[in-house]
Amino acid sequence: MKSVKTHRDLDVWKMSMEFIVDLYRITEHFPVQEKFGLVSQIRRVGVSIPSNIAEGASRASSKEFRYFISVALGSATELETQLEIAFKLGLVISVEREMECLSKIRKMLIIMKRSIETKMNNETTIKSTHL
């Protein structure tokens, strides 16, 4: 993984920020009675993705960063379920574009998590050889 100065340098953070703007636009057309239901849930979990990436990137250790990437990955999976529910309820005509974007975000998070784990394993190996 290349050197990261801040979360703003991460492509997955940038993509998830763009994605949340799209989610807000989509959900503003949901029925009023969903304002505190599915709209709130979709927006909350959508915001959670870039928020957890940002928080993890600011942490001092790889272990903490990996944890927050895992949380962001869980939020992406939760959001996928909520979009499917919105589609099945007829609140949106299609979620294909959103699912494709979410799939890319999830793949990027998985790659990032694996990269962090590799870095952690390498650090452990280096420490154990210097004992």
List Cβ neighbours of 65 (8 Å cut-off, separation of 6 or more). 56, 57, 59, 116
| CB environment 63-100: b (16+ within 10 A), e (fewer) | eebbbbbbbbbebbebbbebbeebbeeebeeebeebee
Token code pair at residue 52: 């957890």
Q: What is the mean pLDDT of residues 75-96?
A: 96
Q: Which helix (H) or strand (E) holds 79?
A: helix 62-88
In the chain, the percentage of residues whose pLDDT exceeds 70 is 91
- pLDDT at residue number 74: 97
- pLDDT at residue number 1: 47
All domains in the chain, ordered by first residue: 7-129 (1.20.1440.60)
